[in-house]
Amino acid sequence: MAIQPGTGYTFTSSSLGTNLNIQQPWSEWDSSSSTAPLQFQVKAYRSGASIRVQIAKGAVNYSQSTMPAVWLNPHTNVRQCRLLKTSVRPGISMVDGGTSGTPWMENGGYYVLPGAGFYYVTISKPDFDGGNTDGDITNSVLMEQNRPFISIFGSENAIYDTIFSETGPSLYVNMTNIQRMEGYDADSTELDADWGACHTTWFNPVKYGYACKVIATIEVSATLDVSVSQHVVGSIEMSVPLQFYGSSLRDVAGETEEEDPYNINEESGFIYVANHAMRTNMNALPVAISSGFYLDMISPADWTQTDFYLWDDCTGQACKHPFEVKRSGMAESTVWSICTGTVNNIVPNPAFDTFTMEDGFVWLRVQYDSGSGSFPATGAYGIIAEHGPAVPADTDDYGYIAIAQITADEVTQLVTGSLWADRLKLGTDTATYYFARV
């Protein structure tokens, strides 16, 4: 007896084997069935004289940086949310389904297309902080949400170029000034240290990042025949990297905080960001709904915070060589400090952290220990740095060497390296001290 597979199916045999023939026609997926749609699945169908579109809710993994306010701490959060509604749909009406808990957007409702044409269903995520108003930029309520958003629009609609803006990472640079920044001395800022030498510039934004994906396209003929081409289903990845684009060195003396490239950029409304017009256009999108279109799956309390610092304190301008006498404040400051050096491999004990002087000398005093015959003497005050109007004369107990002279607030450096000292005492003559650079 021949085996029959059932109604609508037959077996055929040949020398190559047995085939199973499916005689039933292929049927499209039926949204009325109890099977849940895939995330972001799009269905379009004709109802009377109108074309209705349904979109399934879906989860989005995305990122959000501090752009353009990257000046102090460029940072990106990785986030996740579920999209419940479409935010941008110019010329397309919506009918709310009124059923909570449905897998379809708009509470199980639908969108009504205006007629024949080619339509896009897209998801977008620009990477700029819509809650940040630096540069006196007013952001739309939609952009303030800092969430991905869904759009439905015709291919001839004016928002086409905005939605399909250039995609790619956010970029920022560092335009380091090799000169110290003015106005960051301890006296002017009342800080504990002079920051002028370490704060030479802020990070500067140069391009906004953007991610866009086509979820589906819908084609409606003149006779209202409709077809859907699905491009994306399932959860969608919309992360936009925040990338450091490199450093460039500048040599600008006397630069102030106001003249820092970041602050100039901010003062202009960030017009020096290469694609600043993209942000303007995003803020001008015709929005059907600005809030309540998403459900956070990772809450703001879980996002990485940005209030941390990765650098150590730094003070004053950098030392060029041992025993350099340098300003501890701004260019016109008379507060000085001395860079570390050694005498006979011993670091002098500084008698002061900083000192004030308009005219005079800075010197090292090296002591001879008559009890032990040691030179330099051991102990806390065997070698110390001092300053005053004139360098003292050598004695049997102390030898002196001038390391710098300050005249009318200008420094003439007399010693530019660490030293080796020797003491020579002959008879009753005052001891002679010899210093050589090492």
Q: Based on the domain organization, do 329 and 274 belong to the same domain?
A: no
Each residue's pLDDT tens digit, 361-377: 999 999 999 888 899 99
Query: 252-266, 318-332, 389-403: which has the minimum mean pLDDT?
Result: 318-332
> What is the residue type of 205?
P
Q: Examine residue 84 and state whether it is found in any structural domain, yes or no.
A: yes
What would the mean pLDDT of 93-102 be, rounded to a whole number?
93
pLDDT digits (tens, 9 = 90+) for 326-383: 877 554 567 888 888 899 988 887 655 678 888 999 999 999 998 888 999 987 788 9
pLDDT per residue as tens digits for the range 233-287: 999 999 999 999 999 899 988 888 889 999 999 999 999 999 999 999 999 999 9
Report the candidate in 385, 357, 371, 373 with the shortest Cα–Cα distance to residue 425.
373
Domain count, the chain: 2
320 falls within a domain: no
Q: Which two tokens stand for residue 238?
A: 């919309």
Q: How far is CA 281 from CA 90, 137, 139, 143, in A?
A: 15, 13, 11, 11
Co-location of 274 and 401 in the same domain = no
Domain check: are 284 and 331 in the same one?
A: no
Burial group, residue 427, by CB count within 10 angstroms (0-12, 13-18, 19+): exposed
Does position 437 have pLDDT exceeding 70, yes or no? yes
| Domain contains 4 | no
Residue 312 confidence (pLDDT) above 50: no
Q: How far apart are CA 33 and CA 98, in angstroms?
A: 19
- Residue where one domain finishes, among candidates 267, 302, 337: 302
The tens digit of pLDDT for each residue in 175-196 reads 888 887 887 766 666 665 566 6
Average pLDDT value for residue range 68-88: 91
Query: How is residue 322 written in tokens?
Result: 């041992």
Report d(CA 407, CA 374) in Å as an integer: 35
Which amino acid, residue 197?
A
* Residue 386, domain member (yes or no): yes
Domain membership of residue 386 as a residue range? 325-437
Strand partners of residue 212: 124
The residues facing 228 across adjacent strands are: 218
End-of-domain residue from the set 250, 268, 302: 302
DSSP state of 138: P
Q: How many CA atoms lie within 13 A of 438 on its CB side?
A: 13
Residues 244 and 107 in one domain: yes
Where residue 270 falls (left for φ over 0; alpha for ψ -120 to 50; beta otherwise) is left
pLDDT of residue 400: 96
Q: Classify residue 362: in a domain, yes or no.
A: yes
